[in-house]
Structure 1
Amino acid sequence: MSMSPFQALACPLDGEPLQLADNVWRCAAGHSFDIAKQGYVNLLPVQQKRSHDPGDSKTMVAARQRFLNAGHYQPIADAISSAVLRHIEEPPTSGSSPLSCLDAGCGEGYYLRQLAQAAPISQSLALIGLDISKWAVLAAAKQDNKQTPTSRWVVSSNAHLPVEAGTLDSVLCMFGFPVYSEFSRVLKAGGVLLQVEAGPDHLRELREIIYPTLKPERSNEAGVPEGFAHHSSENVRYTLALKGAEEIADLLAMTPHLYRASVEGRARAAALEELVTTVEVRVVQWLRV
């Protein structure tokens, strides 16, 4: 597997292509964006922010990094990597274009790193990880190999992807906020959007501890997004055993349940020394038409 840094970035201010020179991305109009010393670029203009420090906090990112690096969601990563790589129609040849993939809401970059490890040696990849949290992107860039980086790391928003139209083979949206119009715009015709959603039993045992009662599950059948056709769906389900208060706290900290639960519910979770819970996610593949 070889890495070919993703190049088709677009200016977040005027949508024009960005060119890289001397560690600075610059468009024809002169807008410029420096690559930070850690290896990422901030393409989130102030006018696109809804708060001073949007997205996951530094503490939440650290919790997610510990939890994912421990391998607790490895089966999900394996399913995603397999799905992305299955869409390669024929074995790559010398000089063939790299497989380009965007993780929209990449967090600290776990799933792109797993994809890079799963790709065959002969496959060239051009990966881009994007998140609205500067702390997440910073963590992703710090974990990367500076000699052969796994991905281009970008601070930005799914609502305004700083990517040229029709340049991506695949987009990942992992437990995130899909903006289908933007995903459709940046994907090539025939490209694939892989969307991962929590299933009805996802973390049920944890939720039964932190909430007095569980709300009825809402249907995920929202219909086919405009610009896409349904390709396939699969469930990933397994039992996860966590030992120690830190692992349980890390799981809670990387979910929205941390804020939805009451003080009493969080206290019950904090008192646990072990937890056996169900992991259930739905992987949906949409084809760009």
Structure 2
Amino acid sequence: MNITPFQALACPLDGEPLRQCDRTWRCAGGHSFDIARQGYVHLLPVQRKRSRDPGDSAEMVAARQRFLAAGHYRPIAEAVSRAALEGLPDDAMAHCLDAGCGEGHYLRELARFADGKTSLALLGLDISKPAVLAAAKQDKRARWVVGSNARLPVLPDTLDRLLCLFGFPVYDEFARVLKPGGVLLQVDAGPDHLRELREIIYPTLKPERGGNPETPPGFTLLGTETIRYALKLDGAQPIADLLAMTPHLYRASAEGRARAAALETLNLTVDVRLMRFERDAASASS
């Protein structure tokens, strides 16, 4: 399988190209960033952190890892992988970033789906150090980076595909790092996503927003796909893992979380929207 680490990293302090020298990445401005023994690199300057340990905790990462490894979201991973590989040439290396990669599940699935037929240079980025650490421990083929979508440590016009799955899109940054004609794949929760769980943990549900979001500046909408299926969770552990990997863990009251914790089985609706946006040539970086 022709999977290699992404190389076109940028210094998070001055935007200059980073070059790897032994166990360190350096830029011409003299900034250097050591590669951890697990293989990842920390490119989130302390002055850009909003908290001491931003992003998912180690416990949340472990919950996500168990839930995704059980295959509960496999249809989502397969749909994203198909969309990411569509249109890529067989005779050239394609560069792909998962912005908000968590513990790396979707990039690993993309590599598996490519099945050696497509050459991929992969980069996984997350603001959570425990998430990136977990990803680096599981897969040495990709480049794993602690960083922020608000200022991606990636050189302009270098990506063919960018994944933002249940994450926090920063469209001007995404447009900056994608090549003209590159594709952003964005996955968001649909109106019925995990409705049964939400009905248990909340007294009332907020009205859902109708329709698709507006196409962001610098992009053209290529298409929208709905991935919808029934999912049954048996046992308290997968139910607790699902809750831990969603924003509902903190939004729900103590009473709502207790009702979820008392469940031994849960029938759910998975309802997500996969949108494909092409980066316009007119938005090329200056």
Which of 133, 150, 165 is the aligned partner of 1:174?
165
- The CA RMSD over aligned residues, in Å, is 0.9
1:209: which partner in 2? 200
2:123: which partner in 1? 128
Unpaired segments ≥5 residues, structure 2: 281-286
Q: Could you tell me which amino acid in structure 2 is paired with residue 17 of structure 1?
A: P
Answering whether residue 57 of structure 2 is matched by residue 47 of structure 1, we say no
- Specify whether residues 53 and 21 from structure 1 end up closer, same or farther in structure 2 by C-alpha distance, changes over 3 A only: same
Q: Could you tell me which amino acid in structure 2 is paired with residue 266 of structure 1?
A: R
Partners of 2:214 and 2:117 lie apart in 1 by 37
Partners of 2:194 and 2:142 lie apart in 1 by 30
2:27: which partner in 1? 27
Partners of 1:63 and 1:185 lie apart in 2 by 33
Q: 1:112–1:150: 8 Å Cα contact kept in structure 2?
A: no
Partners of 1:251 and 1:224 lie apart in 2 by 30
Answering whether residue 165 of structure 2 is matched by residue 153 of structure 1, we say no
Partners of 1:267 and 1:107 lie apart in 2 by 26
Identity of aligned pairs, percent? 69
Secondary structure at the residue paired with 1:191?
strand
2:82: which partner in 1? 82
The 5-angstrom pairing of residues 93-242 of structure 1 reads 93=91, 96=92, 98-144=93-139, 149-219=140-210, 221-242=212-233
Q: 1:116–1:150: 8 Å Cα contact kept in structure 2?
A: no
Answering whether residue 242 of structure 2 is matched by residue 254 of structure 1, we say no
1:287: which partner in 2? 278
Partners of 1:262 and 1:121 lie apart in 2 by 47
Secondary structure at the residue paired with 2:54?
coil
Q: Deviations over 1:33-55 (max 9, x none)?
A: 01100110000001110111001
Unpaired segments ≥5 residues, structure 1: none
Q: Deviations over 1:142-196 (max 9, x none)?
A: 111xxxx231000000000000000000100000000000000000000000000
Q: How many residues align?
A: 280
How far has the Cα of 1:220 moved from its partner? 5.4
Q: Could you tell me which amino acid in structure 1 is paired with residue 98 of structure 2?
A: D
Superposition TM-score, scaled by structure 2 size: 0.96
- List structure 1 runs of 4+ shifted beyond 6 angstroms: none
Superposition TM-score, scaled by structure 1 size: 0.95
Q: Could you tell me which amino acid in structure 2 is paired with residue 143 of structure 1?
A: Q
Partners of 1:105 and 1:219 lie apart in 2 by 25
Partners of 2:36 and 2:210 lie apart in 1 by 42
2:256: which partner in 1? 265
Secondary structure at the residue paired with 1:197?
strand
